[in-house]
Amino acid sequence: MNARRTTLPRDVARGLAVFLWLSMLAWARPLMLPDEGRYVGVAWEMLRSHDWLTPTLNGLPYFHKPPLFYWITASSLLLFGLHELPARLASLLGAWGGAMALFLFVRKWSGERIANTSLLVLLCQPLFYVGAQFANLDMLVAGLITATVCLLADAALSIEHREPCAKALAAAYACAALGVLAKGLIGFVLPALVIGLWLVLRSQWRTLWALMWWPGAVIFALLAAPWFLAMHQRFPAFLDYFFVVQHFQRFAGSGFNNAQPLWFYPAVLALLTAPWLPWLRSLSLRAPREQVAPAHLRGLWLAWIVVVVVFFSIPHSKLIGYVLPAVPPLAALMAEGIAAWKARAGPRHAPWRMACSMAISLLTTFAVVTWLAMHPIRSTKPLAQDLRHAMAQGEHVVMLEDYYFDVPFYAGLKTPVAIVDEWKDAGAHRDNWRKELADAGRFAPGVARAVLQPAPGLVSYLCQQRHPVWIMGSTSSASRSGLPVSSSVVAQQGETTLWRWQPPEPGARDQQECAGRPTDG
């Protein structure tokens, strides 16, 4: 008990320092499109609609992912306002939780020196640091997967040492449930595969059976099931779309974006952890047992890395963020290599080598963050802020042949926008924003008819409005959509223009674009 009281203040200070480090530059760049704008936009819609159950994208039910990220982000926006730092809080919490879970687990079973080194190596990884500041679901679920694996491994080792493990098991099942609410089935499938492979390779069958704990299953069901049941009750087609289309078809199909070869993730990990890779060679060195981690932990790290890399290499669609759950065990493995080298060569020879690895990692990290801040990817923040300052109550927004995901967030829009495009068979297109909205429209056909406007219908839509309308798009899309010549340019950003269309006065309608068209007046 006294030891716990002694370490608690240090752990609190360490946890605070880790969070401050991860969040240090999270405010420095606008939201990137499409991912950050999309997911933060869904959270903003949840907040503005006061409907915390149904995620919506432009007012349409959006069931690509479960709601935990949106709940955290919407709560953060409610507390701290519409800014980039609170918009990225869910990812920051995921990274922080994963890092602290790894540290606490390694400290318990390998000692504080290796735990500190593991934490240091992890926090210096460019992939981990940038992922912590990227507002999508990948880091949140990666952190929960890390916590679940560490808790299950802690319970397994406690069982083998005949120590109590109920608290660790309860926390593991709770984290697995949150992982499912973060990004679906991988929240418990990946931890189960990692721990299962690790224990099977060690022939720990009794331990594996003991981890299948019925109170944990109850905890898991109580946390994870209610939202899925609520959505199924509201939308009978939800379960088929969420599990069959967005899980199994996406995993096994080839019609989705971002197709990459089988070697993609090994190459990504090797490239982005290159400054620390030489330390892995030290794992073959013989060193005193008391100065290195137990051998079975090395097996855990290897099983963890292999499961994550192989699992995500199977689908054709691959994104860099998917492999984030493999970074913590890789950092722990590198820390073991550092410990083995220190034990063999002596502590005096290690600092300069570690300093080189750390310096290269940090320079790479800051170079990436600086480049992203100076070259925001497709951000329309300046136009959205112009719109926010100029737009009056009751006025609407129309987007031409594109959906600018970050505009509702930065402009603080209170209602969905109308999107003018060719919507016929949009759901049959390859994985893109049109398909996302067309699929979402099937769950709310009435809303879809209002916000997904056919390409020839721009003028008809405008003539039904009593208030001025703000229009966003490229000049080519404006030409194809038949933008009225009376529309005035308000602002431009690159190829995107913001126009304002003023409804003609009633007495002048016969001389304007709305002559002979139905209006709302």
Residue range 64-107, pLDDT digits in tens: 999 999 999 999 999 999 999 999 999 999 999 999 999 999 99
Q: How far is CA 151 from the centre of its chain?
A: 22
Say yes or no to pLDDT of 302 above 90. Answer: yes
Listed by start position, the domains of the chain span: 2-30+88-238+261-374, 381-511
Identify the weakest region by mean pLDDT among 4-8, 34-38, 195-199: 4-8
CA distances to 281, 401, 428, 452, 480 from 422, in Å = 56, 8, 12, 9, 11
How far is residue 26's CA from residue 468's CA, in Å, rounded to a whole number? 36
Say yes or no to pLDDT of 1 above 80. Answer: no
34 cis-preceded (ω within 30 degrees of 0): yes
Say yes or no to pLDDT of 492 above 80. Answer: yes
What is the residue-averaged pLDDT of the chain?
A: 91
Banded pLDDT at 117 (limits 50, 70, 90): very high
Q: Which amino acid is at 351?
A: P
- DSSP three-state, residue 423: coil
Which residues have CB under 8 Å from 449's CB, separation 6+?
none
How far is residue 143's CA from residue 107's CA, in Å, rounded to a whole number? 18
Q: Which of residues 8 and 386 earns the better pLDDT score?
A: 386
Banded pLDDT at 196 (limits 50, 70, 90): very high
Q: What per-residue confidence (pLDDT) applies to 6?
A: 65
Banded pLDDT at 509 (limits 50, 70, 90): very low
Give the model confidence (pLDDT) of 14-61 as tens digits: 999 999 999 999 999 999 999 999 999 999 999 999 999 999 999 999
Q: How far is CA 178 from the centre of its chain?
A: 14
Q: What per-residue confidence (pLDDT) applies to 66?
A: 98
Residue 184 DSSP symbol: S
How far is residue 179's CA from residue 211's CA, in Å, rounded to a whole number? 18
Q: How many helices and strands in the chain, by DSSP H and E?
A: 24, 8
Q: Give me the mean pLDDT over the 349-367 stretch.
A: 86
Residue 78: closest CA among 55, 52, 111, 112 = 52
Banded pLDDT at 9 (limits 50, 70, 90): confident
Q: What per-residue confidence (pLDDT) applies to 349?
A: 61
Identify the weakest region by mean pLDDT among 179-183, 240-244, 511-515: 511-515
Banded pLDDT at 353 (limits 50, 70, 90): confident
Q: How far is CA 405 from the centre of its chain?
A: 15
